[in-house]
Chain A
Amino acid sequence: MDFNGLSIDQAPPISAPLRFFLTAPVFGLIAGILILFTDVNSLQSRFSIESILIAHAITIGFFSFVMLGALTQMLPVLAGAKIPKVELVAKISHFLLVFGTLCLLSGLYTGNTLLTTFAFVGLGCGFLMMIIAIAYGIMKVKNFTPTVKAMATSLIFAFFVLLMGLVLLYSHIAKDISEFHLIISNIHSVWGIFGFAGILIIGVSFQVLPMFYVAPRFKQFCKQKVMWLIVFGLLLWLVSNIFYDAFAVIAKLWVALFFLAFATTVWKKLDARRRPISDVTVWYWRSSSVFLAMGTIMWVADEYFGNNYTVLVALFIGGGFIFSIMIGMLYKIIPFLVWFHLNGSGYMSIPTMNEMINKKLSYAQFIFFIVALIGLSLSFFIPALLEIFAFSFILSMIILQYNVAAPVLIYVKIKKMKPDFDMSAFTIHEGNK
């Protein structure tokens, strides 16, 4: 029997998830600055270099960083799986990904092929390293719950999204944009949003909503079938998108239907939750549910408007749904990790989770973020509004950076002091009981 999944040192070192979490808002901030200095006409097309830059500052720099950081922490808890050499893997891949993302942004912006080549290597190696390490951990799991299945499936999508991303980047390096470029970029983005991020979020919410909010559990149908139905829809969409474009809308409807159902389910579960507490994380779950519902409806409707509103769809689903949930989770995970690691090292006089992040600042961050989302959507129709709402977004990212750094500073400060208890002796005593 393998006991490695549940041992004293089961939790990964705090640095593994934190390095990803602390860098994410920086890329959010970079995206905000790019929005501020970009001509509004360029932003209205999803194919302009500026739109691609902003999209990747957010999707790679923020989304994938938060997802990878969360996976290093959640895999042991939710799946009983351990990522091999997690500290080293996280350190190297984080470096490669930061380097790769910065090279991607600067390389595409300047058209410098040396930088885009560095981006190709950095992002390719960084992502592959994490994907392989997580896959290795998941393969050792004995108890395959719906959440673990979702994690594994999402990882497979991540792998294909990465491959397609590298093909697209290579065509920029070789300056050879083929006729397939558009099709690949479509699949890359749809699979990235719904396959990688969407399925992971749904799978994790099966556990997180009942756990953190004592909300009613998801029905067996949701847990056992919905993910496969979404996978089927995404494969159907892939085939129809390549061979029978006229029918792609049917597959879109199929996928959208399940995400719409998920959005309403989240809202209803929160309504029926047994914990009365309403903190900023609940607000974020609610906003993500609303934006997901609007985004999926718009994604399908966009087919009938000649795909003129794709940028708005991306804003609603990417910004409103995925971004919202991830910020909400950061507010829960980081203070807990700090408390857990300090308490586990024998420090008893430590602030509670609620005392680590200033409540008012977390609400202010939420409001600036939501105002920015609404305002940026409006500026699609009224370009003059863009600047002011870009500011709102930038401000929300600066506050977020402060809010996620505050508990880490508490950790660093307390760690410099002597612990109240020597935990190594304590552990041996417990073990010999």
Chain B
Amino acid sequence: MSTIKEYLTNDHHRCDELFASMENLATSSLESAKEDYLKFAGETERHFQMEERVMFLEFETKTGMTQGPTAMMRHEHTQMRSLMKQMGEALETQNKDKFFGLSETLMILLQQHNMKEEQMLYTMAQQHLSAESSRIVEMMESMIVE
């Protein structure tokens, strides 16, 4: 069983791959990228919820920190959800420039967000929650997206 840090870091890489394959298809036609967009947006939403509904809650309960790093990460999730929604709208209206403008912005936002989580938050979470690591990973894996 992987640790919280390994599990969520690997999930970042998986979402990066989905993002790249969506963009790959979108270069030829936006229509062909729709399915991959749904897959990417769905898996990214799943990742956010695994954090917000499981890991962040456990971390906040353990450390008592509700307005610290997790609040910052939640805020960035909101920013990214809004960008993903706008990307979906650009796909519907077949606006290629808008789509790639949004995808570029999302990509950088996503990467700097992931970096902060991997560098700091996951490391801290692993330290505080090491005893419950397997249980938390299991809960994240079995979580149903709302």
Which A residues fall within an 8 A CB radius of B? Answer: 1, 3, 5-8, 10, 76-80, 142-143, 145, 207, 211-212, 214, 274-277, 279, 332, 336, 339-340, 343-344, 348, 351-355, 426-428, 430-433
Contact = CB atoms under 8 A, between A and B. Distances in A.
Contacts, number: 113
B104 interface: yes
A214 B74 contact: no
Given A78-B115, A212-B108, A353 B101 contact: yes
Given A214-B19, A276-B24, A433-B74, A353 B68 contact: no
Interface of B: 16-17, 19-21, 23-24, 27, 63, 65-69, 71-72, 74-75, 78-79, 82, 97-98, 100-102, 104-105, 107-109, 111-112, 114-116, 119-121, 123-124, 127-128
A355 B79 CA distance: 18
Contact of B115 (A7, A77, A277, A343): A77
Given A6-B121, A275-B24, 5 more contacts: A1-B128, A5-B120, A275-B23, A354-B105, A433-B74
Nearest to A359: B97
A207 B115 contact: yes
Contact of B98 (A6, A214, A352): A352
Contacts of A344: 75, 79
Residue in B74, B78, B124, B128 whose Cβ sees the most chain A Cβ within 10 Å: B124
Contact of B69 (A6, A77, A427): A6
Contacts of B16: 214, 274
B69 A7 contact: yes
A3 B69 contact: yes
Contacts of B23: 275-277
16 contacts: A1-B63, A8-B67, A10-B116, A142-B123, A143-B123, A145-B119, A212-B107, A274-B24, A275-B23, A276-B20, A276-B23, A332-B108, A352-B104, A354-B100, A431-B67, A433-B71
